[in-house]
Amino acid sequence: MHAQRRVLQAIETDFKKAGLPPLGWYDVLWELVQAEGGRLRPFEIEASTLLAQYNLSRLIDRLEGQGLVRREAFDDDGRGRWVVVTSEGSAMRARMWQVYSRSIDAHVGAKLAGDEAQELARLLGKLR
């Protein structure tokens, strides 16, 4: 847990230095970019991230306020909402990845030999 906290704090610091939003934004944008049609229902985002529903709702509001996502009504009943990534959201995710990938390499990859990194990935995959 201490190692996770340190790495995440280092990544957050790298995002801040680059003038980018927090890691939680990346997680939501990543899920949306990967989804069919670039859209998910909020509970689907919650299920695939570590964000609690109450935090996710506020985060989606902030993402929408920045033009990175938009909400759309379901076609069938109009009561439910899709969260849809915009082209600006996709571009932001790509910008964030440039920093995130370097940060992962610096704070994790550079500290492990190639075989150690593969073993860590294998072990984490088993736990997942």
Which helix (H) or strand (E) segment is 20 a member of? none
CATH for 38: 1.10.10.10
Q: Tell me the pLDDT band of 128, cut-offs 50, 70 and 90.
A: confident
Exposure of 80 in the CB half-sphere (CA atoms within 13 A):
12
Q: What is the mean pLDDT of residues 39-50?
A: 92
Please report the pLDDT score of residue 91 as a whole number: 98
State the pTM of this model: 0.88
Q: Is 73 helix (H, G, I), strand (E, B) or coil?
A: strand
Per-residue pLDDT reduced to its tens digit, 57-92: 999 999 999 999 999 988 777 778 999 999 999 999
| Phi, then psi, of 84 in degrees rounded to 5 | -120, 130
| Phi, then psi, of 74 in degrees rounded to 5 | -60, 145
Would you say residue 27 has pLDDT above 80?
Answer: yes
Nearest to 117 by CA among 125, 9, 50: 125
Q: Tell me the pLDDT band of 114, cut-offs 50, 70 and 90.
A: confident
Token pair for residue 78? 């109009």
Please give the residue range of the domain that contains residue 87.
Answer: 2-127
Domain count within the chain: 1
| Cα 101 to Cα 74, 107, 109, 121, distances in angstroms | 35, 10, 10, 15
